Amino acid sequence: MVAATVFIAATTLIAKALGTDTLGAGLPPFQVTFGRYLFGAVAIFAAAIVMRPKLRLRHAHLHLGRILLGWGGVTLMFASVALIPLAEATAITFLNPVFAMILAIPLLGERVGPVRWSAAAIALLGALLLLRPGGGIIAPGALLALGAALLLGGEVLLIKRLTQHEPLLATLVWANGLGLLIAAATALPGWQAPTAAQWGAMAALGFAMAAAQGCFVNAVARAEASLVTPFSYLTLVFAGLYDAALFGVIPDAVGFAGAALILAGASLLAWREGRLSSPAVPRAPRPLSPPHRMR
C-alpha cells in the first residue's frame, strides 16, 4: 500500500499539469482520464500477455460496479486537482479510506476495534488539518474531490470482494479494458488535440496508475480493507515531497502538523496489528498466473 501511494501521488501531480496550462492548453478531465486508461491498459495487457491469467468473467456485476466507481472517482479527482491546490485536493480525495473502513463493517462483515478507529481518527484529523477549515475550501473543486473520495471508497470494497474470487491480474485486465471503453466514449465528443508533451505526460500517468493498481490490489488481497486502506493517507506526504522537489513548495507548520498526524495514525495501526496474535491465518491471494509461468 505504501508503494501504491508513491505512484498515486505522482498521478495527481501529472493530472494537475495536464489539466492546467503547464504543458499546453489544459485538457478536459474526461480526456485526462482517457489517457490514464489508454496507457494503463497497455501496461496491464503487456503483463497479461506474459503471465496469461484466466480471464473468465464470473462476477460481472462486481467488475462493472468496480469499473464504474473507479472511472468516476478518477475523473472527479483529475477535475478537482485542476481547480484547487494539489495538497488540498489530495487531502480531500484520500478521505476514501474512512468511507471504505466504515462501509466494510456492514458490507464485508469486518470488525473494527477501538485501536483501528483511533488510528483512523488520528489520520483523519491530520487530513482535516491540511484542509485548513475556514480558509474558503468549500468550492466546486473541493466538492468534486469529496465525490471522488466517496466513489473510490466504494471501489475499495468491490476490489476486496473480487480478490476473493478472481486472480489479481485478471481484475486489473477487466478494469483497464472496460474502463478504457467508458473513458473513450466520454472523451471523444469533446476531444482536444494534445501536445507532444501532453501525450508523454498521459503515458507517464497511465503507467504510474497501472503500477499503483498492482500494488493496491495486492495490498487489499492480503489483509482486511479496514487495515490497509488507512495507509493510503501517505499519498499526502509523497505529494508534499514532490511539490518540494519539483516546484520548491515547502509545507508550512500546518502542513507538517497534518502530515505528522497522518503518519502517527498509520504507525499506530501497524504497531497494533503487529502485536495482535490472531488464530486465523490471513488468506494468501490468488497467484497472478500458474506457478510454472512465474518461473
Task: Identify which has the larger pLDDT, 142 or 20.
Answer: 20
Lowest-confidence pick of 51-55, 63-67, 152-156, 216-220: 51-55
Q: Which three cell numbers stand for residue 144?
A: 468534486
User: What is residue 262's predicted lDDT score, i.e. its pLDDT?
Assistant: 73
Average pLDDT score over the chain: 78
In the predicted model, is pLDDT for residue 276 greater than 60? no
- When pLDDT is cut at 50, 70 and 90, the band that residue 197 belongs to is very high
SS (H, E, C) the chain: CHHHHHHHHHHHHHHHHHHCCCCCCCCCHHHHHHHHHHHHHHHHHHHHHHHCCCCCCCCHHHHHHHHHHHHHHHHHHHHHHCCCCHHHHHHHHCCHHHHHHHHHHHHHCCCCCHHHHHHHHHHHHHHHHHHCCCCCCCCHHHHHHHHHHHHHHHHHHHHHHHCCCCCHHHHHHHHHHHHHHHHHHHHHHHCCCCCHHHHHHHHHHHHHHHHHHHHHHHHHHHCCHHHHHHHHHHHHHHHHHHHHHHHCCCCCHHHHHHHHHHHHHHHHHHHHHHHCCCCCCCCCCCCCCCHHHHC
In the predicted model, is pLDDT for residue 200 greater than 90? yes
Of all residues in the chain, the percent with pLDDT exceeding 90 is 18
| C-beta neighbour count of 252 within 10 angstroms | 9
Lowest-confidence pick of 36-40, 63-67, 112-116, 247-251: 247-251
pTM over 0.75: no
Distance (Å, whole) CA 184 – CA 187: 5
In the predicted model, is pLDDT for residue 288 greater than 50? no
Of all residues in the chain, the percent with pLDDT exceeding 70 is 81
In the predicted model, is pLDDT for residue 289 greater than 50? no
Lowest-confidence pick of 40-44, 50-54, 219-223, 272-276: 272-276
Task: Identify which has the larger pLDDT, 199 or 255.
Answer: 199
User: What is residue 132's predicted lDDT score, i.e. its pLDDT?
Assistant: 66
User: What is residue 182's predicted lDDT score, i.e. its pLDDT?
Assistant: 93
Distance (Å, whole) CA 90 – CA 62: 27
Lowest-confidence pick of 137-151, 154-168, 265-279: 265-279
Max avg pLDDT among 59-68, 173-182, 200-209: 200-209
User: What is residue 281's predicted lDDT score, i.e. its pLDDT?
Assistant: 43
In the predicted model, is pLDDT for residue 22 greater than 60? yes
Domain boundaries, the chain: 2-274
User: What is residue 269's predicted lDDT score, i.e. its pLDDT?
Assistant: 65
User: What is residue 226's predicted lDDT score, i.e. its pLDDT?
Assistant: 66
* Residue that is written with C-alpha cell 502530515 in the block: 259
- When pLDDT is cut at 50, 70 and 90, the band that residue 163 belongs to is low
